[in-house]
Amino acid sequence: MKLIEAKDYKEMSKIAADIMIKKVADNPAITLGLATGGTPLGIYSSLIDDHKENGTSYNGVTSFNLDEYAGLSGKDPNSYRSYMNENFFHHIDIQKENTFVPCGDAEDLQKACADYEALIKAHKGIDLQILGIGENGHIGFNEPGTSFDSETHVVQLTDSTRQANARYFSSLEAVPQAAVTMGIASIMKSKEILLLVSGKQKSEALKQLLNSSPDESFPASVLNKHPYVTILADKAAIAGLIVNS
Ligand code: GLP
């Protein structure tokens, strides 16, 4: 794993965006794996600025998002589909039909999961996957204990994840109890992974990631087994690492 240090969140986002812009320029038909949460917001904003200023085109790009809350339709303002539309897709020239987010309100969620996995395979997999990390080491919504063999599946969210995400909802009670997420095996099939870690609240997770061997109790540790992972971390995330180690 390669670790790149950025001075702050802004610089981290800019470095990540520049990496993505270059990948899109090199392969205009790239398949991107995209993430939600607070961390990638700066990347999307940089990519939108670049699209407007330099004309980088996403016309031939396909995207697959990592996860979606169970029970929320794509029209729900708290859904990850809405998040992606508002924060990225509506501001670039990507074809909406080429943007995929798991369906959180399918009648048959298990079938929706299998269909999503099949769709990723039909697109010959993800070329570049963007990842954030949860304080408990989750990637996507793969909570501690998730099998490294898992493909897209339904997951019960832990209390800590629901609390961390409650800031986006009217109350903790409003945060869904479950989600649909690409599995660990789905993520590991990506050809290349870019993991973003920002803020001192993530430094313990970063430390554990860098110091642990792959173990299902800490989902992100699986990344140690992937041949092409770049971690982009800001000083706040790295500072805790140095002080505590
Ligand atoms: C959420 C998302 C993850 C995200 C993580 C960190 O629960 N499902 O994909 O990476 O938690 O979120 P944030 O970037 O807001 O800290």
The per-residue pLDDT for range 134-165, each reduced to its tens digit, is 999 999 999 999 999 999 999 999 998 999 99
215 pairs with which residues across the strands? 218
**Res 5 pLDDT > 70:** yes
pLDDT band at 242 (very low <50, low <70, confident <90, very high): low
Domain positions in the chain are 2-238
Instruction: Read off the pLDDT of residues 72-88 as tens digits, 9 standing for 90 and up.
Output: 999 999 999 999 999 99
For residue range 171-185, list pLDDT tens digits in order: 999 999 999 999 999
Counting from 1 in the atom list of ligand 1, the atom nearest the Cα of 202 is 16
Q: Which of 72, 133, 190 most suits a substitution to test ligand 1, by most atoms within 8 Å of the C-beta? A: 133
- pLDDT at residue number 141: 96
Structure pTM? 0.95
> Ligand 1: which residue has its CA nearest to atom 12?
37
The number of the ligand 1 atom at minimal distance from the alpha carbon of 67 is 8
> Which residues does the annotation mark as catalytic?
67, 136, 138, 143
CA 118 – ligand 1 centroid, Å: 24
Mean of the pLDDT values across residues 205-226? 96
pLDDT higher than 90, residue 46: yes
Phi, psi of 5 (to 5 degrees): -100, 130
CB 123 within 8 A of CB 191: no
- The answer, yes or no, to whether residue 103 has pLDDT greater than 70, is yes
Confidence at residue 241, expressed as pLDDT on a 0 to 100 scale: 72
How much is the mean pLDDT over the chain? 96
**Given CA atoms 61, 67, 73, 75 in this order, what sign does their dihedral have?**
negative
- Compute the distance from residue 59 Cα to the ligand 1 centre, in Å: 27
* Closest residue by CA, ligand 1 atom 11: 134
CA terminus-to-terminus distance, the chain: 19
**Confidence band for 217, pLDDT divided at 50, 70 and 90:** very high
In CATH, 2-238 is 3.40.50.1360 = yes
Measuring from each residue's beta carbon to the nearest atom of ligand 1, which residues come in under 6 Å?
Answer: 35-39, 66-67, 132-134, 140-141, 161, 165
Banded model confidence at residue 245, pLDDT cuts 50, 70, 90: very low
Compute, in angstroms, the gap from residue 185 CA to the centroid of ligand 1: 18
CA 98 to ligand 1 center in whole angstroms: 23
Q: Which atom of ligand 1 lies at the shortest distance from residue 140's CA? A: 9
Band of residue 231 on the pLDDT scale cut at 50, 70, 90: very high
Structure tokens at 243: 């002080």
Model confidence at 244: pLDDT above 50: no
| E strand map for 162-206 | 178-181, 192-197
* Backbone angles phi and psi of 117, in degrees to 5: -60, -40
Identify the CA nearest to 175 among candidates 158, 189, 190, 192: 158
